[in-house]
Structure 1
């Protein structure tokens, strides 16, 4: 009996948990596995990756490899550890929530910029879910085992989210998002003069082949294989010459959808570092203008995107509900600076 128990312990000790998994694309040229993983894992350092390789935690095609292994097209790279990923170890944290609406079925929260929605690599605490599990007991899990979460927005995007408090609400609300019947409107400041007063962007969105931290639009034969259908409707709210304030309504909800679609049509979000919007993409070469833009970046140290409006049918009452949030101070201050700049330019002309 003791021997059986000992075998059980040994088997448990050998259990490995997958923390990351990537498949090298068709165009992948031979590249050291540590460099390959640096391109794909957010907030990772080369030192940490090399340490994982030395301790035998990196696998390619289910075989342990060293850091100098050359990844080639079709290789499946995994990072495995003896402990579960930290994002599954949820710690309740007493973080204040800006609750816009609450009843016994659901709540609507206004997420500040800088707050991650759920734990993930490099962000294991301080997230919206850490706050939710502290303030609310027995929240239902979604299909990814994340309590209460019906949908999400990016870390540096501010705005409205609906959270389910019951299993029924989770099922009902998730179906609305899946069926594209929920209403989601964002306000964004984008580079360039958007010429059309309104338009529709349609393009399948999937992981960027060379940078896993980005998504991109796939067209042609690759579209269905490498991306998921995505549709964004935009409307111009105000033009400031070198930048434009737009309203974006989502028909689908892909990761980084507005950021990817607006870049795809040549209008990257203002100060969106991940997609190149932290550089001056439109305007003059005058040093005065450069100083003005740098000041705008300081006022708004994130992408200019806010989830302003959220609408859905209440799971219990069947009534249509709609919520609206104010544009945050940092985006509003940036808009005011551009508005003043555009007015002065017109007066000079």
Structure 2
């Protein structure tokens, strides 16, 4: 949970504020800008801004699609082909918090937005397949609904077609890397995060040891 919601659960942003307050001995309220969000069951890299100017500059990078995002997803099916590009039109039902991927624009879903990603298979262990996914657009639930549309729902993602949930409520989708040019220093910034320690993720991580 990146930012507070109606559940009342403590969000990641509150933990980061506490860290900043302690680390830099800041009195009173601490500013923290939420630049982007991950779906609640998704793990991985999250970037915050410590100043309002930093927030404005980072928001511009995301808006202009100058942040390169790399995700890992584990599915129980191999995509055909094993590497390719997906283009769908995604409509979001905010009431039900669910998205729908269409193969083409439809008058029934006038709000549907063009959504693009590339993917490739990195490895397979038994029936489990590790995909690297790079979204070119930032639509709600984009990777989840687009992979489901081609018959490769993310493991644990019952909202989008996987048959059973993970025991902890997570899904096997992880933001592996964010890369961008620092808005002030103009230097390349690459932030990576390993997947959480979990049996299936660990099996794939051991392949690179």
**TM-score relative to the length of structure 2:** 0.82
2:182 pairs with 1:327: no
Q: Which structure is higher in helix share? A: 1
Aligned pair partner of 1:157 in 20, 26, 42: 42
2:120 pairs with 1:235: yes
Name the residue aligned to 1:129: 13
* CA displacement 1:269-302 (0-9 Å, x = unmatched): 01112223143xxxxxxxxxxxxxx9xx45x752
- The Cα shift of 1:200 comes to 1.0
Q: Count the aligned residue pairs.
A: 196
- The Cα shift of 1:129 comes to 2.2
Task: Mark the runs of 5 or more structure 1 residues left unpaired by the alignment.
Answer: 1-115, 140-146, 280-293, 340-349
Write out aligned runs for 1:25-36 (5 A).
none
Report if the CA contact (8 A) 2:179-2:191 is conserved.
Answer: yes
Report if the CA contact (8 A) 2:91-2:109 is conserved.
Answer: no
How far apart in 1 are the matches of 2:148 and 2:183?
A: 36
Q: Which structure is higher in strand share? A: 2
2:88 pairs with 1:203: yes
How far apart in 1 are the matches of 2:203 and 2:186?
A: 43
Name the residue aligned to 1:167: 52
How far apart in 1 are the matches of 2:138 and 2:68?
A: 11
How far apart in 1 are the matches of 2:169 and 2:52?
A: 38
Name the residue aligned to 1:253: 138
Write out aligned runs for 1:279-294 (5 A).
279=164
Tell me the SS of whatever aligns to 2:131. Answer: strand
Report if the CA contact (8 A) 1:204-1:224 is conserved.
Answer: no
Q: Flag the structure with more relative contact order, 1 or 2, with Cα contacts below 8 A and sequence separation at least 6.
A: 2
Tell me the SS of whatever aligns to 1:277. Answer: coil
How far apart in 1 are the matches of 2:5 and 2:112?
A: 22
* CA displacement 1:66-101 (0-9 Å, x = unmatched): xxxxxxxxxxxxxxxxxxxxxxxxxxxxxxxxxxxx
Quote the RMSD (CA, aligned, Å).
2.5
Name the residue aligned to 1:312: 180
Task: Mark the runs of 5 or more structure 2 residues left unpaired by the alignment.
Answer: 21-28
**TM-score relative to the length of structure 1:** 0.51
